[in-house]
Structure 1
Amino acid sequence: MSEDPSTGADTDEVTLGRIETEVALLMRFGEATRRRTGAEHRVLDRAAYVILRHLADAGPQNISALATRLNLDGSTVTRQVSAMQRDGLIVREPDPRDGRGMVVSPTPAGLQRMAAVQAARTRLYGDILAGWAPEDRDTLAEMLRRLNEALEHRPRP
């Protein structure tokens, strides 16, 4: 470990403190931006958007698989999925691998609303990052992917 000569602080600790602050601000600004943007961003709540994105990428999933992927309690995912089913965003069907279980799939309406939110968010980030060089945007995308992967695979206490 090296030490910052101007402060005497461990540089790794300082860097980790900066990361913590920037992630906290990112979460705060992200939520504030979502609330202040147009209606197309709000046609889905955050939980429904994330579930639909995952189902669109991974295909039908059971509640347990969704909970594991999203690092949430099964009862939380069950409540979210029930609300999404009432809103016509997903359907529950018998699991083709195990007829005793159920899997969740997006409906065409759910996929359409997810795509609208995704397009609106993509435009928003395009505007926000318009002044960035393409290679800087690529680097940001890769670093965020790596951070999310590390967060996903962090052992649960």
Structure 2
Amino acid sequence: MSEDVHAAEVTLGRIETEVALLMRLGEATRRGTGTMEHRLLDRAAYVILRHLDAAGPQNVSALAARLNLDGSTVTRQVSALQRDGLISRTPDPADGRGTVISTTAAGLQRMAAVRAARTRLYGDILAAWPEADRETLADMLHRLNEALDARNRRR
């Protein structure tokens, strides 16, 4: 094995470890944060509401496809969000048998509170980082998420 190949494998191993730690520590940080805002929504509800806010109303199938989740999983999550008054269902104008899901004012308000709390948290965590490093981190995380999303869409 050449030194270049070995170095590339070591780097990929470091990336794998750091991503695994990021996911574990991110969840532990969310659970361990004492503020109420962090507990207003679970992770799945937050992701669904963020997506609906960005992409607009859509049916469960489109939502499941975009989030790379099974339709039955999204249906359960959407039902819970509807019970809590955070989303609403209306007849799908393109398919009378289906429904379109959209956020409610309460859902948007709760999502915004969680987002603001998370933004403050990361502001505190990264306070000592130079702005250029924060920008680089944001850019690299965006690129990683785009690559992961593209790979999931090819499956």
Please report how far the alpha carbon of residue 95 of structure 1 lies from its aligned counterpart in structure 2 after TM superposition: 1.9
More helix by share: 2
Partner of 2:13: 17
Q: Is the Cα contact below 8 Å between 1:48 and 1:84 reproduced in 2?
A: yes
How far apart are 1:101 and its partner, in Å?
A: 2.4
In the TM superposition, what is the alpha-carbon distance from 1:118 to its structure 2 partner? 0.2
Alpha-carbon offset, residue 99 of structure 1: 3.3
Cα offsets for 1:91-131 (capped at 9, x unmatched): 01112333332110001000000000000000000000011
Q: Secondary structure at the match of 2:127?
A: coil
- State how far apart, in whole Å, the 2-side matches of 1:109 and 1:2 are: 58
How many residues are paired up? 152
User: 2:122 & 2:50 partners in 1: Cα distance?
Assistant: 17
> 1:113 aligns to what?
110
Counterpart amino acid of residue 41 in structure 1: H
Q: Cα distance 1:151–1:60, how it changes in 2: closer, same or farther (>3 A)? A: same
Identity of aligned residues (%): 79
Distance 2:136 2:150 in 1: 21
Is residue 90–residue 110 contact of structure 1 (8 Å, CA) maintained in 2?
yes
1:74 aligns with 2:71: yes
Please show how residues 1-157 of structure 1 align to structure 2 within 5 Å. Answer: 3=3, 10-37=6-33, 38-154=35-151, 155-156=154-155
Unaligned segments of structure 1, at least 5 residues: none
Question: Is the partner of 1:100 in helix, strand or coil?
Answer: strand
SS of 1:88's partner is coil
TM-score normalised according to structure 1 size: 0.92
Alignment partners' CA distance in 2, 1:87 and 1:12: 48
Runs of 5+ in structure 2 lacking a partner?
Answer: none
